[in-house]
Amino acid sequence: MSKRIIPASIVKARRAYQRAAEALSAATKRAYPVGAVVTVRLGRSTVTGVVLSAGSAYWWHEPDRVWIENIKTGKSRKFTASGYATEVIYSGDTEQALQPDPVEHP
């Protein structure tokens, strides 16, 4: 049985890939904190939802994945942070963000 040797260039590239994926996951978690209210364009629809999770626990699997709960339907949706146009509406208290603005009467 021969010994399998992985070329050093592949080992080096794999380490660089892992560091980049970990950095992407961390950046996604910072950009989309859990509880933030976001608007995202998914297909032809614009969805407003609350962030359930962002990034990935595993660097090799969808490091820029964001899960949201649609405010209108209650359904969970996922999108990739690097692939969709999004806007973070509010990243503080979710309950406060979902309250309608008070209407001032003259």
Distance of CA 14 to the CA centre of its chain: 23
Which tens digit of pLDDT belongs to each residue from 24-54?
999 999 999 999 999 988 888 889 999 999 9
So what's the pLDDT on residue 81? 87
pTM: 0.75
Residue 67 burial (C-beta neighbours within 10 Å; 0-12, 13-18, 19+): middle
8-94: CATH topology: SH3 type barrels. (2.30.30)
* Selection from 47, 33, 55 nearest residue 76 by Cα: 47
**Which helix (H) or strand (E) is 66 found in, with range?**
strand 65-70
